[in-house]
Amino acid sequence: MKKYAVPIALFAAFEAVAITLWLTKGNPFYLFNFTYIGASVALGAALFIQGNKNARRVTQLLVGLYMLVYLGLISRENMQIEGFWYYLFTGVFEAATIHYAVAKIFGPLLFGRGWCGYACWTAMVLDFLPYKVPEQPRKQIGWIRYVTFVASLVFVAALFLAHVGNLERIMFWAFIVGNIAYYAVGIALAYAFKDNRAFCKYICPITVFLKPMSYFARIRVTCDHSKCIECGKCRRVCPMDVDMLDDARSRKNGTECILCMECVRNCPKKAL
Ligand code: SF4
Ligand code: SF4
Ligand code: SF4
């Protein structure tokens, strides 16, 4: 059992959130939601410990499909960034706002960009593409994320200022159209830049929250330099161009790490 301390702790942390929200909000949905996500994350962690190289993808598919299909399409909850603004403006602290607070704003102080590695339904599809490791140097176009971030805010603010009716319906269709656009742009960029995660690096508006918060992440990859033989394999397998051999928080692309553990899994000396 000691071997599985991490998955058990992860499940317990999610269960604590599940029970707290269930009791404080009086809604059993939170118990189901966070128990399911906690079980999916714990399963992935357990598979990783067993050496299964698809461990992360199992969690990513279990959580990503649940959010996209059940929460988004069946329950009609817009979990995209415009849904976050919408529920924030209406003053409703419900699913989308709680989701952002836990996964994308305050959670990254603990688990960095774990959301991007294990749950995001956009990356869930992009990770099936052929360029798992970037084949071209990084582009200097990360500013686009601020444009998409502001555009999502202006879009929702304009709907409120214009007193547009039936906003719930508009948000549902914004979710559908937004996801189709994300997949189309994400796939096109992956092939153009030979990099599955190009969308994450340059376009995704959520990184405006994720990057600064994950700078302070408690859970992060560090190197035991007494074991490292400087073979460089870790850098060659990283999808996000992180310099994981530098332990400083300001390391190159440090706020890009998605905790995929490819560097850890491939290190021949178990130095990471
Ligand atoms: S950067 Fe955006 S698209 Fe990429 S995994 Fe994170 S949330 Fe998903
Ligand atoms: S793969 Fe391991 S041994 Fe090789 S450089 Fe990276 S940390 Fe060092
Ligand atoms: S390979 Fe290592 S440094 Fe790169 S994103 Fe994955 S966990 Fe982070």
- Rounded-to-integer distance, Cα 233 and Cα 200, Å: 23
Judge whether residue 95 has pLDDT over 80: no
Q: For the domain 220-272, what is the CATH code? A: 3.30.70.20
Report CA(258)–ligand 3 centroid distance (Å).
Answer: 6
Q: Could you tell me if the CB of 261 is within 6 A of ligand 3? A: yes
Domain chopping of the chain, boundaries: 53-214, 220-272
The overall pTM is greater than 0.85: yes
DSSP class of residue 217?
-
Mean pLDDT along residues 114-132: 95
Mean pLDDT along residues 203-225: 95
Report CA(72)–ligand 2 centroid distance (Å).
Answer: 41
Instruction: Give the ranges where the chain is alpha helix by DSSP (H).
Output: 5-25, 28-49, 55-65, 81-89, 95-99, 108-111, 114-118, 121-126, 144-161, 167-193, 198-202, 207-214, 233-237, 262-266
Q: Could you tell me if the CB of 202 is within 6 A of ligand 1? A: no
**Two structure tokens written together for 137:** 């140097």
Could you report the per-residue pLDDT of 47-94, keeping only the tens digit for each?
999 989 899 999 999 999 999 999 889 888 888 898 889 888 887 766
Report CA(241)–ligand 3 centroid distance (Å).
Answer: 8
Q: 57: number of CA atoms within 13 Å, CB side?
A: 9
- Rounded-to-integer distance, Cα 21 and Cα 94, Å: 10
